[in-house]
Amino acid sequence: MKKILVAVDGSEMSLKVLQKARTMAEKFGSEVLILTVVKKLRAIHYHTGSDFQLSDEVDRVIEDSAKKILDGAKEQFESYEGKYETLLAYGEPAEEILVVAEREKPDLLVMGSRGLSGFGRVMLGSVSTKVLHHTGCDMLIVRYDD
């Protein structure tokens, strides 16, 4: 197993996903790519006829949050002896995970069964399901234990 792609979103589940991916990577001496996806917000159109533009500042805050997620992921791999890198993509999480998987051709894609929900970034079970049904590589879905 030469290359592992790991999708994280900053949720509690992401820590489990990173731990599982690191265990696998250490066992096989794999290169690890850690990905998070930023869903950029652009404009919201209200029925009142006026447009409300979300400022570039909001996008920067969301992007800074994603960078912190990747910084936390790097901490999990600090002493890892193999090669690893972090990737930041913009768009719909499932679609961007599939794009990166197609480009990078990992031997294994690791992600959680569910993740964050709410206003910020969303990576729900529907994302892992969509990726599972459309990816061309093996996939490990780490389950969340309540």
Q: What is the DSSP string of 34-65?
A: EEEEE----EEE-TTS-EEEPPHHHHHHHHHH
Band of pLDDT at residue 42, cut at 50, 70 and 90: low
Residue 5: its pLDDT value, please? 98
What's the predicted TM-score (pTM) here? 0.83
Amino acid identity, residue 44? Answer: I
Rounded to the nearest 10 degrees, how much is the dihedral formed by the CA atoms of 53, 55, 61, 64?
A: 110
Tokens of 71: 């910084």
Q: pLDDT tens digit string along 5-32?
A: 999 999 888 999 999 999 999 999 999 9
Q: Does 145 have pLDDT greater than 90?
A: no
Domains of the chain and CATH, by start = 3-142 (3.40.50.620)
Provide the pairing of β-strand 51-53 with 138-142. unpaired
Provide the pairing of β-strand 31-38 with 3-7. parallel
Band of pLDDT at residue 130, cut at 50, 70 and 90: very high
